[in-house]
């Protein structure tokens, strides 16, 4: 059964699915150049943006020469003290865009001068590490705080008074209630990935944190998308904000070879195993909707002798850290992840993305496949689509502005229909039959046709005769 879709797409009939070979060095160089022209402002250097020498040292050490377009716009605005509402796609240097002004403006010993809020633990670790790397030329201290760690382990570091704190809203509020993280010293508040924080229910926490800062700090919102709700929230805590919208393409999908595979939901694990065995992808991320599915898929792959690792919000922090370390070191081939846990994934080596479940939100689909095709290389994205997910697939196509071709594996042998599914289908068919039988029992008998020969001209009247005819129908002419 093929997914019902609006509008319908042309499907491929190739017997053998195409394989994505590594691009030639020339094509990689060309793609990297195109990506650089799209992302970077090559007419400027970081020195042109007004950053001090100690910050420039860290930038040079990190290997950056030209700022990205969002950095070239946001950094001067932030350095001037303006409130900023910035929008840019993933992978355009948003962290450096707000992190570099913090390193430039905050003085050593200015404890808890900046608070950066992020949606996930992994992103807190990643943002803090990136700012540390950029700030190697400064004596400033950056501390990530997040759930999953004992507060007693974070307490000594907080007592030393870091200048910049990066944290998830829940842990930040907890530390503030324990009088370990003051709000009144915060001069710059940054909210990274605001859209995702609102999606996962941090709206009230954000209001409590920002509302608890009596000295209205300079506020910077950074988001991949800016909805009316985000603008309304921003203007509640900003005075005369400058809105910066990146002119780059909104979606990084041009270098991703996307395709979808029609498969019944009970055959998805079998099809996933088929892909991993026959296509032999390199570093692959498999996205699932729920934590339970992440665990089930990981256990299934491990039973099939595929070394898969899971990452989702219910894992203890030490487990999540180990998985992320193995991922960044390249010692991991298959990562099965939930969307929320994957928000901090920023690894260049991911070659394939598999959507085990299509997301309800097409923006999430774009974020998923954006984990691959980095540094000018091509990536591959496969989506396992069950017959009831045609509309979800169409929504993803509409947002990405691309017609995603179907991939057909004729050597794949579907499994048997599960007993519960078969019983449910038989019950549905019986209900239809019972309904039809009930209609037949209660419907009126067929009406006997009138004898047209008894009427003049063979025309049967459709209404009562006029009163002047005394309500009688003449059957013959006089």
| Per-residue CA distances from 163 to 100, 131, 140, 144 (Å) | 14, 12, 6, 11
Q: Is the distance from CB of 54 to CB of 137 less than 8 angstroms?
A: yes
Q: What's the rounded mean pLDDT across residues 375-390? A: 85
Cα 432 to Cα 73: distance, rounded to the nearest angstrom: 63
Q: Which tokens belong to 224?
A: 């991949």
List the alpha helices (DSSP H) in 221-285. Answer: 228-237, 268-279
Is residue 120 domain-shared with residue 262, that is, in the same domain? no
Cα 99 to Cα 83: distance, rounded to the nearest angstrom: 15
The CATH number linked to 152 is 3.40.50.300
151 found inside a domain: yes
pLDDT score at 167? 96
334 found inside a domain: yes
Beta-strand relationship, 188-192 and 218-223: parallel
Is residue 122 domain-shared with residue 263, that is, in the same domain? no
- Of 31-35, 294-298, 315-319, 415-419, where does mean pLDDT reach its minimum? 31-35
377 found inside a domain: yes
pLDDT score at 17? 40
Beta-strand relationship, 283-288 and 350-355: parallel
Tens digit of pLDDT for each residue in 161-218?
Answer: 999 999 999 999 999 999 999 999 999 999 998 988 887 889 999 999 999 998 889 9
**DSSP character at residue 344:** G
pLDDT score at 15? 37
pLDDT > 70 fraction of the chain, expressed in percent and rounded: 84
261 found inside a domain: yes
pLDDT score at 472? 60
> Which of these three, 343, 375, 400, is where a domain ends?
400
Residue 90: domain span = 39-245
Is residue 117 domain-shared with residue 192, that is, in the same domain? yes
Spell out the residues 6+ positions from residue 412 whose beta carbon is closer than 8 angstroms to its own: 270, 271, 274
Tens digit of pLDDT for each residue in 434-455?
Answer: 888 888 888 777 777 767 777 7
Cα 102 to Cα 83: distance, rounded to the nearest angstrom: 13
> Which of these three, 225, 245, 265, is where a domain ends?
245
**Residues 183, 224, 129, 150: what is their CA dihedral angle, to the nearest 10 degrees?**
50
Q: How confident is the model at residue 111 (pLDDT cuts 50, 70, 90)?
A: very high
Is residue 59 domain-shared with residue 186, that is, in the same domain? yes
Full-model pTM: 0.65
For residue 469, pLDDT over 90 is answered with no
Task: Give me the number of domains the chain comprises.
Answer: 2
> Edge-to-edge, what's the strand order for the sheet holding 142-145?
142-145, 164-167, 114-117, 188-192, 218-223, 84-87, 242-245
Is residue 340 domain-shared with residue 318, that is, in the same domain? yes
Cα 363 to Cα 147: distance, rounded to the nearest angstrom: 26
| Per-residue CA distances from 137 to 20, 66, 141, 335, 445 (Å) | 42, 18, 11, 35, 94
Cα 171 to Cα 180: distance, rounded to the nearest angstrom: 11
- Mean per-residue pLDDT over the chain, rounded: 84
Q: Which tokens belong to 183?
A: 């709000």
Cα 42 to Cα 48: distance, rounded to the nearest angstrom: 11
Cα 278 to Cα 272: distance, rounded to the nearest angstrom: 10
Query: Which carries the bigger pLDDT value, residue 367 or residue 249?
Result: 367
Is residue 265 domain-shared with residue 353, that is, in the same domain? yes
Is residue 279 domain-shared with residue 186, that is, in the same domain? no
Is residue 189 domain-shared with residue 264, that is, in the same domain? no
Q: What's the rounded mean pLDDT across residues 129-137? A: 93
- Of 23-37, 249-263, 297-311, 424-438, where does mean pLDDT reach its minimum? 23-37
456 found inside a domain: no
H or E element: which one contains 215?
none
222 found inside a domain: yes
Is residue 195 domain-shared with residue 339, that is, in the same domain? no
Q: How confident is the model at residue 7 (pLDDT cuts 50, 70, 90)?
A: very low
H or E element: which one contains 442?
helix 419-442
For residue 353, pLDDT over 50 is answered with yes
- Cα radius of gyration rounded to whole Å, the chain: 31
For residue 13, pLDDT over 50 is answered with no
Is residue 238 domain-shared with residue 295, that is, in the same domain? no
For residue 9, pLDDT over 70 is answered with no
Q: Is the distance from CB of 54 to CB of 138 less than 8 angstroms?
A: yes
Helix/strand number for the chain, H first, E second = 16, 13
pLDDT score at 8? 35
Cα 48 to Cα 349: distance, rounded to the nearest angstrom: 32
Query: Which carries the bigger pLDDT value, residue 24 or residue 369?
Result: 369
pLDDT score at 382? 95
Q: Is the distance from CB of 373 to CB of 255 less than 8 angstroms?
A: yes
Q: How many CB atoms lie within 10 A of CB 110?
A: 15
Query: Which carries the bigger pLDDT value, residue 75 or residue 90?
Result: 75
Q: How confident is the model at residue 26 (pLDDT cuts 50, 70, 90)?
A: low
Q: 286 forms bridges with which residues in the sheet? A: 336, 354
Q: In which region does residue 425 sit, left (phi positive, over 0), alpha (psi from -120 to 50) or beta (all else)?
A: alpha
pLDDT score at 419? 84
Query: Which carries the bigger pLDDT value, residue 247 or residue 204?
Result: 204
104 found inside a domain: yes
> Which of these three, 400, 425, 444, is where a domain ends?
400
Q: Is the distance from CB of 83 to CB of 238 less than 8 angstroms?
A: yes
For residue 25, pLDDT over 90 is answered with no
Is residue 190 domain-shared with residue 335, that is, in the same domain? no
**Rounded to the nearest 5°, which phi and psi values hold at 133?**
-65, -40
pLDDT score at 462? 74
List the alpha helices (DSSP H) in 167-290. Answer: 169-177, 194-199, 203-211, 228-237, 268-279
- Of 126-135, 406-415, 416-425, 440-449, where does mean pLDDT reach its minimum? 440-449
Is residue 302 domain-shared with residue 197, that is, in the same domain? no
Q: What's the rounded mean pLDDT across residues 408-435? A: 87
Spell out the residues 6+ positions from residue 225 whose beta carbon is closer than 8 angstroms to its own: 87, 195, 363
> Which candidate, 230, 138, 160, places its Cα nearest to that of 191?
230
46 found inside a domain: yes
Query: Which carries the bigger pLDDT value, residue 131 or residue 341?
Result: 131
Instruction: Count CA within 13 A, CB hemisphere, residue 83.
Output: 15
Cα 66 to Cα 41: distance, rounded to the nearest angstrom: 6
pLDDT score at 37? 59
Cα 75 to Cα 59: distance, rounded to the nearest angstrom: 13
3-state secondary structure of 373: coil
């Amino acid at each position: 059964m093929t997914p019902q879709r609006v509008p319908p797409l042309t499907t491929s009939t190739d017997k053998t699915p195409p394989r994505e070979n590594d691009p030639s060095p020339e094509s990689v160089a060309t793609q990297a150049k195109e990506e650089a022209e799209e992302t970077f402002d090559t007419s400027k250097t970081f020195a042109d943006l007004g950053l001090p020498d100690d910050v420039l040292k860290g930038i040079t050490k990190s290997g950056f020469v030209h700022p990205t377009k969002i950095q070239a716009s946001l950094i001067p605005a932030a350095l001037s003290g303006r409130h900023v509402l910035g929008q840019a796609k993933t992978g355009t240097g948003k962290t450096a865009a707000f992190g570099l002004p913090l390193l430039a403006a905050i003085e050593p010993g200015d404890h808890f001068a900046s608070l950066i809020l992020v949606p996930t633990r992994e992103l807190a670790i990643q943002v803090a590490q990136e700012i540390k790397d950029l700030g190697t030329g400064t004596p400033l201290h950056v501390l990530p705080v997040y759930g999953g760690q004992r507060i007693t382990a974070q307490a000594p570091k907080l007592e030393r008074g870091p200048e910049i704190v990066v944290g998830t809203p829940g842990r930040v509020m907890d530390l503030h209630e324990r009088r370990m993280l003051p709000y009144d010293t915060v001069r710059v508040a940054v909210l990274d990935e605001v859209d995702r924080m609102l999606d996962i229910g941090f709206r009230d926490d954000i209001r409590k944190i920002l509302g608890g800062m009596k000295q209205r700090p300079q506020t910077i919102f950074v988001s991949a998308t800016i909805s009316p709700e985000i603008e309304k929230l921003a203007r509640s805590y900003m005075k005369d904000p400058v809105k910066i919208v990146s002119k780059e393409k909104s979606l990084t999908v041009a270098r991703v070879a996307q395709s979808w595979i029609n498969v019944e939901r009970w055959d998805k694990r079998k099809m996933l195993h088929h892909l991993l065995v026959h296509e032999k992808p390199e570093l692959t991320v498999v996205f699932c909707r729920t934590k339970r599915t992440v665990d089930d898929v990981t256990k299934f792959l491990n039973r099939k002798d595929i070394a898969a690792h899971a990452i989702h919000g219910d894992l203890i922090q030490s487990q999540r850290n180990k998985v992320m370390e193995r991922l960044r070191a390249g010692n991991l081939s298959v990562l099965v992840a939930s969307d929320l846990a994957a928000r901090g994934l920023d690894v260049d080596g991911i070659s394939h993305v598999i959507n085990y479940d299509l997301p309800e939100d097409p923006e999430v689909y774009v974020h998923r496949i954006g984990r691959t095709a980095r540094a000018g290389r091509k990536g591959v994205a496969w989506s396992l689509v069950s017959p009831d997910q045609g509309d979800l697939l169409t929504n993803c196509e509409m947002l990405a502005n691309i017609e995603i071709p179907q991939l057909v594996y004729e050597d794949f042998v579907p499994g048997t229909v599960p007993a519960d599914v078969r019983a449910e289908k038989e019950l549905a068919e019986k209900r239809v039959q019972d309904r039809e039988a009930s209609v037949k029992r209660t419907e009126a008998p067929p009406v006997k046709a009138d004898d047209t020969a008894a009427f003049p001209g063979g025309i049967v009247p459709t209404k009562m005769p006029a009163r002047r005819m005394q309500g009688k129908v003449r059957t013959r002419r006089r």
